[in-house]
Amino acid sequence: MTKNIKKLTLKDVAERLGVSTATISNAFNRPDQLSASLRENILSECEKMGYFGPNAAARSLRTGRTGIVGIVLSDDLSYSLTDPVANQFLKGMAEVFEVNEYNMLLLSSDQVEQDAQSRMQSSMVDGFIVYGHKPQQCINAPWLMPNKNIITVDSFIPGTTSVNVENHSGAYRVACHALQHKPEAVAILGLSLLATDRVCRIREDELFDRAASISIQRLYGYFQALEEHNVAITSEYIWNIPENNHKQAYQAAREALSMSNRPTLLLCMSDCIAIAAVQAALHMGLRVPEDLHVVGFDGIAESANFHPSITTIHQQTVEKGRIAAEVFLGLREAKDVILDTDLIIRESCPSIVEIN
């Protein structure tokens, strides 16, 4: 009898009680997620079965694993937790890790360096999921060590399994849609195109490496669409916005819309940038979409609720988090994943058919 009790797993108990593994886990670890009566009933039944909850310490001794995954974020934690895209990505991972009794240790790549602290953090985790890694960040970082399980998301690190979306084709599709309106001039409001913290325009002699970041892939998607539609663009019409926030995007948009040859189309690399651009245009007395067309990228909820609503490329952000967690845990084959994107046409750049 004792042997059988020792073999009980979270999944076994969930099946016996007819509830999900997440519900059992919440009963022991997150009581605020359940009603008092449900939690009391689950704990009572578990006690009768001889199951006393997930034991992380025992599991670590038995398997040699800590049950902790390090989530390395390319930006600081306060920004990542409020950024709508990063927030949804974290949500997707949390759903999978919680059910499988894994904990997430959130780390900022700006704070993690190859020193005693980073070595300690590395020893605490079974591996890392690196989100939005930039080549210039922590070249000797602990998540690059060969003995660790590494998954990269929205980025590429040689030798690791990656989870990405169709950034190039998504940007190409939304640009092709917008270019049907035959804009007089086009400006690109880019995100983290350069290794600088300044809102600035791109110099003519600056080169772009397609593999450097998802933003560069989106940029080349725009370039392809512009070339196919015989629309020329020079570097003075391409802005670098260091962070995906309203203040910097608003500044870049006002600068673009103040040019003597004012753009009538703004290609924005995020919905947050697109929303700020529309607000800047409205404050300058411009009408959207009558005087200016604006498109974004990401498909966050705010892009649909904002007025005028934003035409955008929707990416599966929550699903991206789930897949990254499943690959890390071995629940999914360890091979590169590229998720499809969808063009969502709304008020900021309607279709030609709708206008006619």
How does pLDDT run across 215-230, given as a tens digit for each residue?
A: 999 999 999 999 999 9
Flag whether pLDDT at 136 surpasses 70: no
**Mean of the pLDDT values across residues 45-64?**
64
Cis bond leading into 289, ω under 30°? yes
Flag whether pLDDT at 6 surpasses 80: no
Task: Give pLDDT, residue 341.
Answer: 97
Say if CB 132 and CB 73 are below 8 A apart.
Answer: yes
How does pLDDT run across 178-194, given as a tens digit for each residue?
A: 999 999 999 999 998 88
**Mean of the pLDDT values across residues 112-131?**
67
**Mean of the pLDDT values across residues 271-284?**
98
Task: Give pLDDT, residue 230.
Answer: 97
What's the one-letter identity of residue 316? Q
Task: Give pLDDT, residue 356.
Answer: 43
Mean pLDDT estimate for the chain: 86
Kindly provide the residue ranges of all beta strands, DSSP E only, lying in 203-349, ordered along the sequence. Answer: 238-241, 265-268, 293-295, 312-315, 337-339, 341-344
Confidence of residue 8 (pLDDT cuts 50, 70, 90): confident
**Separation between Cα atoms, residue 151 and residue 127, nearest integer Å:** 8
82 or 262: which carries more pLDDT confidence? 262
Domains of the chain: 2-54 (1.10.260.40), 66-163 (3.40.50.2300), 167-315+340-355 (3.40.50.2300)
Most confident of 39-48, 178-187, 347-356: 178-187
Confidence of residue 3 (pLDDT cuts 50, 70, 90): very low
Task: Give the CA-trace dihedral at 40, 43, 45, 46, to 10 degrees.
Answer: 170
Percent of the chain at pLDDT exceeding 90: 56
Confidence of residue 156 (pLDDT cuts 50, 70, 90): confident
Task: Give pLDDT, residue 32.
Answer: 73
**Mean of the pLDDT values across residues 265-282?**
98
